[in-house]
């Protein structure tokens, strides 16, 4: 029992989306399994996974085909809201959104890896690229969803994930998107007494993240939900946005 409590405490205090907090998605899954079935064997396996998974496998290819080159009939938006696993679901459920892709943007290194970005060495932030049909969903609607799924009051951190690689941001690709983003920021700023620290920076290259990050919430729902809960994302969103909080 003591070993199990120690393992749970580690999961609660160190758990995070990126390597900056020591555990990656494989160890998150092991901890989730351990909390659901606290046998000595499961706890031992969780501890082993937490150690062995400190560096995620990069064996799976980075698949950018069909993700970064939308047709002329659709548009693209780029947002950052902390762990990219958690930013895909709010957009995937919107009618008119054709795809969401996790990746890295607004940094200096060409083709950065997850290891580099999560360590805070490249200047990038974890982001998502949203391909959408403007005839069915507007960019303004995407902005509305973005704000309700981030904490715009905390710099260089989103929930339990800390570091500039988890800063929140909007990365407009056109003057029209930039004007809309800035207007939305002014409207949001009027709601709070604290300053809004979310950055608005003209889009730079977006690099697709490793394939195992794509659609993580559908591939690994138990692990994803465990991470999201322990990270305090939903509770903080409710504190900031009340009934408007995203999910």
Look at residue 219 in the predicted model and tell me its pLDDT.
Answer: 96
Average pLDDT, integer, range 173-178: 98
The pLDDT value recorded for residue 247 is 81
Backbone angles phi, psi at 234, to 5 degrees: -65, -40
pLDDT in tens, 140-162: 999 999 999 999 999 999 999 99
**Which position among 8, 17, 83, 86 bears the catalytic label?**
83
Longest dimension (CA), the chain: 59
Over residues 168-191, mean pLDDT: 98
Give the per-residue pLDDT at 42: 36
Residue with tokens 């049909």: 133
Question: What CATH number is associated with residue 105?
Answer: 3.30.1060.10
80 and 197 co-located in one domain: yes
**pLDDT level of residue 66 (50, 70, 90 thresholds):** very low
pLDDT of residue 16: 57
How many domains, in total, are found in the chain? Answer: 2
Q: Which two tokens stand for residue 209?
A: 């993240």
pTM here is: 0.77
Q: Same domain for 86 and 193? A: yes
Please say if 8 is a catalytic residue: no
Q: Are residues 39 and 91 in the same domain?
A: no
Average per-residue pLDDT for the chain = 80
Q: Does residue 105 sit in the same domain as residue 198?
A: yes
Cα(162)–Cα(156) distance, integer angstroms: 6
pLDDT for 71 equals 58
Confidence of residue 57 (pLDDT cuts 50, 70, 90): very low
């Amino acid at each position: 029992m003591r070993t199990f409590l120690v393992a749970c405490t580690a999961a609660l205090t160190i758990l995070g989306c990126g390597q900056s907090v020591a555990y990656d998605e494989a160890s998150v899954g092991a901890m989730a399994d351990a909390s659901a079935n606290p046998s000595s064997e499961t706890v031992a396996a969780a501890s082993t996974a937490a150690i062995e998974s400190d560096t995620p496998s990069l064996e799976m290819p980075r698949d950018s085909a069909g993700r970064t080159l939308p047709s002329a009939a659709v548009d693209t938006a780029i947002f950052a809201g902390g762990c990219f696993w958690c930013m895909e679901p709010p957009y995937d459920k919107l009618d008119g959104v054709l795809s969401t892709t996790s990746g890295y943007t607004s940094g200096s290194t060409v083709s950065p890896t997850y290891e580099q970005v999560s360590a805070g060495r490249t200047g990038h932030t974890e982001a998502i690229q949203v391909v959408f049909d403007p005839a069915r969903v507007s960019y303004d609607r995407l902005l509305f969803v973005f704000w309700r799924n981030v904490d715009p009051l905390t710099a260089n951190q989103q929930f339990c994930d800390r570091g500039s690689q988890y800063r929140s941001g909007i990365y407009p690709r056109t003057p029209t998107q930039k004007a809309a983003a800035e207007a939305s920021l002014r409207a949001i700023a009027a709601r709070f007494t604290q300053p809004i620290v979310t950055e608005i920076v003209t889009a730079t290259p977006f690099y697709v993240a490793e394939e195992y990050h794509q659609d993580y919430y559908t591939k690994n729902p138990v692990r994803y939900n465990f991470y999201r809960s322990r990270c305090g994302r939903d509770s903080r969103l409710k504190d900031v946005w009340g009934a408007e909080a995203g999910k």
